[in-house]
């Protein structure tokens, strides 16, 4: 396949048709689907299907294929969300401090008041007490707030075609 | 909990990064034989440590330009009704119910601020909604920490 790891910014925008969106949906649900199986599902030849997917990889729409790992099966049943408000100039130092912390799975910088930004991170833990490790690291930069996740009614939903899966016509992107 | 060894952990890290790597390439990278790599991978799938495979997309390339984190502090409204609304909202990619203050924290992906407003409006009946626009994600979303999987409760973490 082409190199999906390096999306190129200068690519001209692609127009995705209904089949493309269906393929994107299927691949998000199951990244191990073969091109042959997708070709069969949408009554296309395997070559045509491979071309469609290669086109989306090249355009940087598809950026990678990953194994999904279940943190529970690995003995990490706890999830926590930590939030801290910091001044923008400290962000670099915090990033450096936390970058290699393996328990962090998600990390967002949001807009805050004035010079402040809000940092929100999600961590997976073997024990709830472990949340202190991250909180302690952040304490030097401001006041971190931590909360433990009880349940996740929605977890990793796929990106859907705007206007719903059933929408007809082509979507300009 | 299933036991995994250091080779399993290295294997998991590799296929988290790229699921399409061949058994041959994986064997070479890990310094193991191909049959061992195949057997290990099958076992990790069978016991549910590998729960599946997914394809990662670039939302911006698909026209989803706005990402936000929403927090809803419940006002005692019907919980099951709100959960139905959340589940029926394709813009909400993640939703966690957290301890304290009965808060729901959600990650939302939309094409415009107008669409974000529509999601917020849908949630307002259930409580106080606060939102933060995500301006960047310094660390790309990654999978759970394999390195920590065999950790003991006592003992300190190395930096």
**pLDDT one-digit tens code per residue, A77-136:** 999 999 999 988 888 899 888 888 888 888 899 987 778 899 999 999 989 999 999 999
**pLDDT one-digit tens code per residue, A46-76:** 999 999 999 999 999 999 999 988 888 888 8
Long-range interactions of A12-17: CB distance < 8 A, separation 24+: A13/A59, A13/A172, A13/A173, A14/A55, A14/A56, A14/A59, A14/A61, A14/A173, A15/A170, A15/A171, A15/A172, A15/A173, A16/A56, A16/A61, A16/A170, A16/A171, A16/A173, A16/B62, A17/A170
Contact A129 B153 (CB under 8 A): yes
pTM: 0.80
- State how far residue A13 is from chain B, nearest Cα, in angstroms: 8
Contact B94 A120 (CB under 8 A): no
CATH 1.10.10.10 fits B6-54, yes or no: yes
CATH 3.20.20.80 fits A17-67, yes or no: no
The domain ranges of chain B are 6-54, 59-133
CB < 8 Å to A124, chain B: 144-145, 148
The domain ranges of chain A are 17-67, 78-148
Pick the CATH number of B59-133 from 3.40.50.410, 3.30.70.920, 1.10.3720.10, 3.40.50.720: 3.30.70.920
Residues 99-138 of B with CB under 8 A from A: 99-100, 103-107, 109, 111, 132-138
Contact A154 B103 (CB under 8 A): no
Report the residue from B55, B134, B149 with minimal CB separation from A108. Answer: B134
Looking at domain A78-148, which CATH architecture does it have?
Answer: 2-Layer Sandwich (3.30)
Question: B interface mutation test: which of A9, A67, A106 has the most B CBs within 10 A?
Answer: A67
**pLDDT one-digit tens code per residue, B143-154:** 655 554 444 433
């Amino acid at each position: 396949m082409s190199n999906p790891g390096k999306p190129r910014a200068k690519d001209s925008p692609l127009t995705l048709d209904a089949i493309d969106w269906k393929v994107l949906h299927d691949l998000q649900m199951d990244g191990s689907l073969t091109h042959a199986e997708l070709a069969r599902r949408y009554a296309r030849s395997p070559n045509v299907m491979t071309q469609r997917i290669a086109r989306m990889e090249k355009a940087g729409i598809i950026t990678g294929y990953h194994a999904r790992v279940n943190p529970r099966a690995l003995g990490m049943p706890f999830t926590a969300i930590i939030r801290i408000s910091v001044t923008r100039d400290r962000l670099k130092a915090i990033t450096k401090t936390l970058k290699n912390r393996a328990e962090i799975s998600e990390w967002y910088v949001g807009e805050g008041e004035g010079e402040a930004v809000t940092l929100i991170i999600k961590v997976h833990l073997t024990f709830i007490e472990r949340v202190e490790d991250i909180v302690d690291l952040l304490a030097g930069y401001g006041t971190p707030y931590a909360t433990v996740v009880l349940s996740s009614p929605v977890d990793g939903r796929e990106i859907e075609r705007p206007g719903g899966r059933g929408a007809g016509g082509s979507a300009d992107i | 909990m299933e036991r995994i060894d250091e080779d399993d952990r290295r294997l998991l890290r590799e296929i988290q990064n790229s699921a399409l790597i061949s058994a041959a390439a994986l064997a070479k990278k890990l310094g193991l034989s191909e049959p061992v790599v195949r057997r290990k991978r099958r076992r990790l799938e069978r016991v549910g440590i590998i729960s599946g495979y997914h394809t990662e997309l670039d939302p911006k390339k698909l026209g989803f330009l706005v990402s936000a984190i929403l927090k809803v502090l419940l006002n005692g409204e019907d919980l099951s009704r709100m959960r139905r609304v959340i589940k029926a909202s394709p813009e909400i990619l993640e939703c966690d119910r957290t301890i304290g203050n009965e808060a729901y924290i959600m990650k939302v992906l939309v094409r415009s601020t107008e669409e974000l407003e529509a999601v917020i409006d849908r949630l307002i009946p259930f409580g106080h909604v606060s939102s933060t626009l995500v301006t960047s994600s310094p660390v790309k979303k990654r999978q759970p920490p394999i390195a920590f999987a065999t950790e003991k409760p006592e003992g300190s973490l190395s930096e």
